[in-house]
């Protein structure tokens, strides 16, 4: 505790300091937040051991060197939330971009029930709401509904690799903004389009998938530029939590809106406007890289570091080295196996609860969302924990990534197998919540590893990895459907599904543990 005399001296010094330098509060807040997220000093870091960090030249934060060698001032603009480090604002917006993407992707899964079964409320003659079911507006059979739901994923999957190339050509910031804005506008006009022609609706969904296919690669490309070395795990895990919370929010709110007096069109209006509001914020706050930001502090620039020269052309991409690198395949293959489990549970778990555990449809919606709520909380916490271990040098970066893969895919597979022995709905929900939460911890393993192998090409690597990942969105449901197509001994059939899912996850984990590395590759600077 300070004495009264020391306290008065401290307050006088503080008042004098703030009056001399109005930017001091921002600097101090940044330093304190840096201690929390980045728990070490510069003297503790051996930069020779850091794969991607390069100290910046001591330039004034509000100036840059032009081609003639002279200094030219950056154009500044009023800075909202000036005290918050700019990388955290970018992180929040990229996370919300993923949140919006999953809201748009997932909302149709619930809304199509109201569109084809007439759920909802309508006004009666007395002005009150009747809870009786209305006449279905559309009469689509199950197969055609499946075509509608799958149409978005055709273009979404096809755009993954081109998205990485487009990031190189046009910049990830521009691409991410266009992706969310374009898909949000299409979502907003969905009620009008679907009432005109159902095939036009399918074309609209394909266009939505094309826009949303740009999100993953552009988001990872931005994070690779804005995240300091020892914040990469927490950054990627926070971004992943946006996907999880988007799933929960879309599933929950879509049912509420579709069942209200506003009807199913309100679902598309809400999520369309939500995405456009995000885009307006993106236009104001987003910059391609830290050195472009007119209001960033020099302390934050030094913390982030200058990772690479981002001026690339498509001809610069070393495709031969990328496609023949065992380190790259050590990420792509686990990406495929991890996504197999992700899509199996996301798309098929509600069916399991209905067929095996005989839950009511209202309970299934809640039970299906619960695992993603828990995972959305635990993923950022795990990312921070891994970054602390790395920054304190308790574990190497490569071993940190392998630890995440082992716990997520290996330990998670044990709980997937445990689903075979779940005798009640409650035990099944508890077990699958643990399994899904653990499986999402792999985002701090292979997914984060993409940035470390070749930061300059992280968007392209993410595109390749996500392309392979989303193929499982087609294969996994087909396998589940083929195995569980007969009604006899349905519990045994689902046991086969869980054994296959666990086996696939373990195979991917073994390959990753054997061949993965976080060291920057020699071809990464080509």
Tokens describing residue 169: 């050509």
- 50 falls within a domain: no
| Contact in structure between 99 and 242 (CB atoms under 8 Å) | yes
pLDDT above 70 for 73: no
My answer on whether 338 and 302 are in the same domain is no
pLDDT of residue 360: 67
Query: Quick check: is 18 in a domain?
Result: no
Give yes or no for residue 159 having a pLDDT over 50: yes
**pLDDT category, 486, cuts 50, 70, 90?**
low
Contact 245, 376 (CB under 8 A): yes
> What is the CATH classification number for the domain harbouring 467?
1.20.1250.20
For residue 183, CA distances in Å to 154, 187, 200, 205 come to 15, 6, 15, 9
In a domain, 302, yes or no: yes
The answer on pLDDT for 478 being more than 80 is no
Give one DSSP letter per residue of 348-417, joined into a string. HHHHHHHHTS---HHHHHHHHHHHHHHHHHHHHHHHHHHHHHHHTTSS-HHHHHHHHHIIIIIIHHHHHH
pLDDT at 157 (0 to 100): 87
Q: Say how far apart CA 349 and CA 501 lie, in whole Å.
A: 12
Residue 62 burial by Cβ neighbours in a 10 Å radius (0-12, 13-18, 19+): middle
**Looking at the structure, do residues 297 and 355 belong to the same domain, yes or no?**
no
326 plus 376 within the same structural domain:
yes
Spatial distance between the Cα atoms of 16 and 443, rounded to a whole number of angstroms: 47
The tokens describing 131, both together, are 């809870």
pLDDT of 6 higher than 80: no
- Same domain membership, residue 491 and residue 472: yes
Q: What is the pLDDT of residue 42?
A: 35
Same domain assignment for residues 327 and 475: yes
Give the three-class secondary structure for 34.
Answer: helix
* Total Cβ atoms within 10 A of residue 387: 26
Sequence-ordered list of residues with C-beta below 8 angstroms from that of 269, at least 6 positions apart, any chain: 188, 191
pLDDT in tens, 209-249: 999 999 988 988 888 888 887 787 788 888 888 888 898 88
- Examine residue 228 and state whether it is found in any structural domain, yes or no: yes
Cβ atoms 239, 197 nearer than 8 A: no
Confidence of residue 108 (pLDDT cuts 50, 70, 90): confident
pLDDT averaged over the chain? 78
Instruction: Say which range, 128-142, 215-229, 271-285, 357-371, has the weakest mean pLDDT.
Output: 128-142
Q: What is the pLDDT of residues 284-307, one digit of tens each?
A: 998 888 888 888 888 888 887 765
CB contact set of 155 (below 8 Å; sequence gap of 6+): 206, 207, 208, 209, 210, 213
Pair (302, 352) in one structural domain: no
Is there a domain that residue 132 lies in? no
**In this structure, is residue 294 part of a structural domain?**
yes
Higher per-residue pLDDT: 251 or 269: 269
Given a cut of 70, is residue 25 above it in pLDDT? no
172-207 pLDDT, tens digit per residue, is: 899 999 999 999 999 999 999 999 998 999 999 999
* pLDDT at residue number 77: 56
Mean pLDDT for the stretch of residues 95-113: 87
How many structural domains compose the chain? 2
Indicate the residue among 251, 276, 309 that finishes a domain: 309
Residue 237 sits in the same domain as residue 368: no
Q: Among residues 256, 275, 309, which one ends one of the domains? A: 309
The CA-CA-CA angle for residues 170, 171, 175, to 5°, reads 85
Q: Which of 179, 157, 155 is nearest to 167 (CA)?
A: 179
Give exposure, 487-499, as e/b (b: 16+ Cβ within 10 Å): eeeeeebbbebbe
324 and 210 in one domain? Answer: no
Q: What are the pLDDT digits (tens) for 409-456?
A: 999 999 999 999 998 989 999 999 999 999 988 888 887 887 788 877
Identify whether residues 267 and 372 lie together within a single domain.
Answer: no
Q: How confident is the model at residue 51 (pLDDT cuts 50, 70, 90)?
A: very low
Distance from C-alpha of 371 to C-alpha of 466, rounded to nearest angstrom: 22
pLDDT confidence bin for 312, thresholds 50/70/90:
low
Bridge partners (DSSP) listed for residue 130:
122
Whether residue 17 has pLDDT greater than 50: no
Which pLDDT score is estimated for 186? Answer: 95
pLDDT band at 60 (very low <50, low <70, confident <90, very high): very low
Strands (DSSP E) found in 6-82: 63-65, 71-73
| pLDDT for 125 beyond 80 | no
Q: Would you state the pLDDT for residue 143?
A: 66
462 plus 339 within the same structural domain: yes
- Considering the domain architecture, whether residues 275 and 147 belong to the same structural domain is answered as yes
Query: In which band, very low, low, confident or very high, does the pLDDT at 34 lie, cut at 50, 70 and 90?
Result: very low
pLDDT tens string 400-415 = 999 999 999 999 999 9
> Is 133 part of a structural domain of the chain?
no
Give the range of the structural domain holding residue 247, as residue numbers without chain letter: 83-117+140-309
Instruction: Look at the block and give the residue holding tokens 């507006």.
Output: 137
pLDDT score of 124 more than 70: no
* Pair (348, 259) in one structural domain: no
Please tell me the distance from the alpha carbon of residue 220 to that of residue 164, in angstroms, as a whole number. 10
Domain stops at, among 258, 280, 309: 309
Spatial CA neighbour of 293 closest among 100, 18, 62: 62
Structural domain includes residue 220: yes
Q: For residue 326, what pLDDT band results from cuts at 50, 70 and 90?
A: very high
pLDDT in the model for residue 330: 93
Residue 358 contacts by C-beta under 8 Å, 6 or more apart in sequence?
A: 425
Cα separation, 353 vs 365, whole angstroms = 10
Share of the chain above pLDDT 90, in %: 28
Q: Distances in Å between the alpha carbon of 31 and those of 34, 250, 303, 328?
A: 5, 37, 10, 36
Q: What is the pLDDT of residue 4?
A: 56
């Amino acid at each position: 505790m300070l004495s009264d005399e020391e306290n008065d001296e401290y307050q006088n010094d503080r008042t004098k300091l703030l009056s001399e330098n109005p930017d001091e509060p921002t600097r101090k807040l940044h330093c304190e937040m840096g201690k929390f997220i980045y728990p070490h000093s510069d003297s503790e870091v051996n930069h020779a051991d850091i794969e991607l960090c390069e100290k910046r030249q001591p330039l004034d934060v509000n100036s840059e060197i032009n081609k003639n060698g002279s200094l030219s001032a950056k154009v500044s603009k009023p800075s909202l939330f000036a005290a918050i480090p700019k990388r955290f604002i970018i992180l929040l917006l990229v996370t919300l971009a993923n949140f919006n993407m999953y809201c748009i992707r997932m909302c149709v899964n619930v809304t199509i029930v109201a569109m084809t079964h007439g759920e909802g409320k309508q006004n009666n003659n007395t002005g009150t709401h009747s809870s009786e079911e209305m006449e279905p507006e559309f009469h689509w059979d199950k197969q055609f509904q499946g075509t509608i739901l799958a149409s978005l994923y055709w273009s979404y999957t096809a755009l993954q690799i081109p998205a990485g190339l487009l990031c190189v050509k046009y910049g990830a910031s521009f691409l991410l903004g266009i992706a969310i804005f374009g898909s949000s506008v299409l979502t907003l006009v969905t009620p009008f389009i679907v009432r005109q022609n159902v095939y036009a609706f399918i074309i609209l969904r394909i266009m939505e998938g094309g826009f949303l296919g740009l999100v993953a690669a552009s988001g990872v490309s931005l994070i690779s530029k804005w995240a300091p070395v020892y914040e990469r795990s927490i950054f990627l895990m926070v971004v992943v939590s946006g996907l999880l919370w988007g799933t929960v929010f879309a599933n929950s709110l879509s049912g509420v809106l579709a069942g209200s007096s506003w009807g199913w069109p309100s679902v598309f209006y809400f999520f369309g406007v939500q995405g456009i509001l995000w885009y307006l914020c993106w236009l104001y706050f987003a910059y391609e890289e830290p050195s472009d930001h007119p209001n960033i502090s020099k302390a934050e620039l030094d913390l982030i570091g200058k990772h690479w020269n981002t001026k690339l052309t498509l001809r610069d991409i070393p495709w031969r080295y990328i496609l023949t690198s065992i380190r790259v395949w050590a990420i792509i293959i686990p990406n495929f196996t991890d996504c197999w489990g992700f899509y199996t549970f996301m798309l098929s778990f509600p069916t399991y609860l209905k067929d095996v555990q005989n839950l009511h449809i209202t309970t299934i919606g809640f039970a299906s969302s619960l695992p993603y709520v828990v995972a959305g909380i635990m993923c950022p916490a795990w990312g921070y924990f891994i970054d602390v271990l790395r920054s304190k040098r308790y574990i190497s970066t490569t071993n940190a990534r392998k630890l995440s893969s082992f716990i997520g895919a290996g330990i998670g597979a044990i709980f997937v197998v445990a689903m075979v022995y779940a005798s009640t709905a409650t035990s099944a929900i508890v077990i699958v919540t643990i399994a899904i939460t653990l499986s999402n911890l792999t985002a701090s393993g292979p997914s984060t590893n993409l940035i470390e192998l070749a930061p300059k090409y992280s968007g392209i690597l993410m595109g390749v990895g996500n392309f392979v990942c989303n193929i499982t969105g087609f294969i996994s449901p087909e396998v589940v459907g083929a195995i569980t197509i007969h009604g006899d001994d349905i519990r045994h059939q689902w046991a086969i599904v869980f054994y296959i899912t666990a086996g696939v996850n373990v195979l991917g984990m073994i390959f990753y543990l054997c061949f993965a590395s976080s060291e920057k590759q020699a071809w990464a600077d080509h």
